[in-house]
Amino acid sequence: MNRRNLIRSILLFIFAFIFGYTVKKEGENIVFQRIDSNMVKSKDGKSIADEIEGIKQDLSQRAINVRQPPYNAKADGKTDDTLAIQKAIDSLNPGDKLYFPRGVYNVPGGLTLNKRGVEFIGQSRGYYDTAVLQSTNPNSVILTVKEAGFSCENIRFLGDGDLYGVNATVTGLKLIGAFSSNPNFDVDALISKCSFFKLKICIEQKGKNVVIENNNLSNSTIGVNIHPEGVPTDFRGLEIRDNRFHSLGGKSNPESVCINVNPHFRELMITTNYFDDCFVLIKGGAVGMSVIGNMITRAYGGFEFDMTNSDVLRQYDKRIQLISNNILTGISAVGVNKNGISIIDKDTGLGRWIVSNNVISFFSFHGIYAKGIKNSSISGNHIDTVASDTSKLYDFIHIEETSERVAIKNNTMSGASKNIRWGINIESAKTASHSISNNDFFAFESNTINNRTIRGESHNTADSQPQRS
C-alpha cells in the first residue's frame, strides 16, 4: 500500500507541475490549486499581479502613449499619423516621456519637437519588431529636434531609398542646437538603440554635445552628418561609439559616407564602431579628434581626413588628432582608388597627428597618405596587400612634399604587389626633417617596381629580406 501511495503521489506531482497546479494535503485529502499571479509574492509581500499593475500605472503616469486617447495614432503603416503624434508632442512638458508601442507610424508631414528634456521611447521585441517612424515623402525630415536634452531609444527611422541608400531623399533625425532660447548651441542629446534604414541622412547634427551609441545605421547614403551647413562656428563634443554602419553606399552609391564631419568641429570621439560593406567610412575631420578601436570590413574607402577648410579657433589648433588601434579591411576594386588612411592638413605646422597601431589591408590606393602634416608620428602600423589595380602605382606609406618633421617608425609592410613603388615614399624636399627607423618590409625586393623599400636620400635600406629601415 505504501508503495502504491508513493507512486500515486509522484504521478500527482508530475501532473501538477505540467499543468500549473500546486498540490497540498488538507486532512486526508489531496487538493489541487492552479497557480496564478496572485500566489507568487515578492520580497515585500506583493504578488506578481500587483507588481505588473504597479508597473503599468507607473508607465501611464510617466509616459504619454501615442496610441491612446486623445491622440489615437493608428501605427498601421498606411494611415497618416503625423497630426496625431504631433499633437502628443505638443502636449509634452519638460521631463516627459513619449511612448510608441510597436507598429509602423506613417509620418509624411514630419514631426517637430520644441520641448526641452524630452525622451522618446519605442516598444521593442527583438531586432525588427519595434516602433517605426516612416516617411516616403520626398525630401522630408521624419523628426526635427529644436531643443536641448532630447533622448531617443528603440525607435526605427525608415525612409524612401533603395538598398545602399540609392535614390533616398528622406532624413531620419535632425538635431538643431541653434535657436533663440539656446545661444550656446547646446544639443545635449542621447540617441541609443535605434535603427535607421533607407535614408539619405540617418542623423544630422548641428550643435554641441551629442552621444550616438548602440545604433544600427543601414542601407543609407550618409550615416551621421556633423555640422553640415559649414558655418565657421566653434561646435564641439560628440561621441559616436558602439554603432554598426552597414551597407552605406557599398560600390553602388559613391556619394555615401558613414560619418561626414565638417572641419569647423572640435573634440570628436569615434570609438569601437563596426563598419561593413560601406563606401567611405569617415570624411572631413575635427580638431582634437580620437578615432580608436573601430572594426572595418569590406570597405571601398577608408578614413579621409581633410582639415584644409578648418576655421576652428586658433587656441585649439595645437591639439592632437589620434588615429589608433583600428582594423581596416578594404575591397581592392578596379576604378575605386581609395587610401586606407588619408590625412590632408592645412600646412600650418600646428596640427599634430598620431597614427599608431592600425591594421590596414586590401585597399586600392596608398595604405597611409599624408599631406601638410607636421610634428606628427606614424608608428606601429601593419599594412598588408594594397593596390590590386595594376593600372596605378601606389606606396604603402606616402608622405607628400608639404609635410615636415614626421616620425615613421616600427611599422610593418608586407605583401607588396607588382605595382607598389615604395614601402615608404617621402616626396618632401625636406626629407632630412623626417625620422624613419625600425620599419620592417617583407616580400618586397622581387615585387616592387624600384626594388627599394624607402624613397628618401638621407636614409638607407637593407638588401636582404625581411628588410628593416
Q: What is the mean pLDDT of residues 182-190?
A: 78
What's the pLDDT at 381?
Answer: 96
> 45-79, pLDDT tens digit by residue?
666 566 655 555 555 456 899 999 999 999 999 99
Distance, in Å, from the CA atom of 261 to the CA atom of 301, rounded to the nearest integer, reads 16
All three cell numbers of 85, joined, read 503624434
pTM equals 0.82
Tell me the pairing of strands 235-241 and 222-226. Answer: unpaired
Please compute Rg for the chain using Cα positions.
29
Does residue 397 contact residue 411 with C-beta atoms inside 8 Å? yes
Of 52-66, 223-237, 347-361, give the lowest mean pLDDT range. 52-66
Pick the CATH number of 74-468 from 3.40.630.40, 2.160.20.10, 3.10.350.10, 3.10.129.10: 2.160.20.10
> 387-426, pLDDT tens digit by residue?
555 666 788 899 987 888 899 999 998 876 666 778 888 8
Domain range annotation of the chain: 2-34, 74-468
What's the pLDDT at 244?
Answer: 97
Q: How confident is the model at residue 379 (pLDDT cuts 50, 70, 90)?
A: very high
Q: What is the 3-state secondary structure (H, E, C) of 267-314?
A: EEEEECCEEEEECEEEEECCEEEEEECCEEEEECCCEEEECCCCCCCH
All three cell numbers of 361, joined, read 589591408
Q: What is the mean pLDDT of residues 372-400?
A: 82
